[in-house]
Amino acid sequence: MYSAILSRNPGDVDALKCALYAKMRRADWGGALRYARRLRDAEPSEVEWRLMVAQLHELKGDLAKAERQFRELLAEEPLLVRALHVGIAYILFLIYSVAAICLQFFVLVWLLLASQLMW
């Protein structure tokens, strides 16, 4: 249905939105990303579509592209809540990853020392 409308008028924003949300309901992140990019190109002043593109990269598992998109958004709009949330989540992930690695290291050292004391 939407493809017929889009074949006649590729820049129809309402049809693009409907197609985007239909793809998202089916968890077709790649298809949704194509429509989100078209919406971003059709309405470049809308932050919503740029944010959607970044979020769809995140859902696809392409975290490097998602991070780059979120950082670009934050550079232009520093108080954008969703982009801030992702940035904070990423920082916490890094902090806890380092903490987890340190904890594993200390447990390993403790186990090695404990095993030497037993012999």
- For residue 105, is it within any domain? no
- For residue 23, is it within any domain? yes
Assess whether pLDDT exceeds 70 at residue 22: yes
Distance CA 21, CA 97 (A): 34
Identify the domain containing residue 83 by its residue range: 2-92
Q: What is the pTM of this model?
A: 0.65
- For residue 70, is it within any domain? yes
Give pLDDT, residue 119. Answer: 54
Distance CA 73, CA 38 (A): 18
Q: What is the DSSP string of 69-118?
A: HHHHHHHH-TT-HHHHHHHHHHHHHHHHHHHHHHHHHHHHHHHHHHHHHH
Confidence of residue 37 (pLDDT cuts 50, 70, 90): very high
- For residue 37, is it within any domain? yes
- For residue 82, is it within any domain? yes
Assess whether pLDDT exceeds 90 at residue 39: yes
- For residue 97, is it within any domain? no
Distance CA 71, CA 109 (A): 38
- For residue 106, is it within any domain? no
- For residue 107, is it within any domain? no
Q: How many domains does the chain have?
A: 1
Assess whether pLDDT exceeds 90 at residue 36: yes
pLDDT tens-place string over residues 50-68:
888 988 888 888 878 887 8
DSSP character at residue 12: -
Give percent of the chain above pLDDT 70: 61
**C-alpha distances out from residue 11 to 14, 16, 36, 63, 92, Å:** 9, 8, 12, 28, 40
Assign residue 63 the CATH number of its domain.
Answer: 1.25.40.10
Phi-psi region at 78: left, alpha or beta (left = phi > 0; alpha = psi -120 to 50): alpha
